Amino acid sequence: MAREDAKKDIINRLRTIKGHIAGIEKMIEEDTKTCEDILLQIAAIRASVHKVGLIILEEHAKDCLIGDKESLSKEEVENVLKTIVKFVK
């Protein structure tokens, strides 16, 4: 995915997440949905946030590992790996 395409995808996903959160707020305020419905929406938000994180992580790894560099230092590779580990925890 090209950098600009990734950015547009991330922005669209974040806007969708905001819409889902607003929907959950409305469900709770109006007491119109069951706990099951609300939890289903929360699960959808969690999955969406995780996907955004994966896209950002992929772009970060590409920038750091592929970028315009001839070679990578051990420290640069370790920094990318630390970022991956932090995300998946």
pLDDT at 77: 86
Q: Give the relative orientation of helices 74-88 and 35-61 as an angle to the nearest 10 degrees.
A: 180
Interval 30-60: pLDDT, tens: 998 999 999 999 999 999 999 999 999 988 8
Higher pLDDT: 20 or 70? It is 20
CATH number for the domain formed by residue range(s) 3-88: 1.20.58.1000
CA atoms within 13 A on the CB side of 49: 13
Rounded to two decimals, what is the model's pTM?
A: 0.79
Instruction: Please say if the pLDDT value at position 24 is more than 80.
Output: yes
- Give, rounded to a whole angstrom, the gap between the first and last alpha carbons of the chain: 25
Say how far apart CA 46 and CA 44 lie, in whole Å. Answer: 5
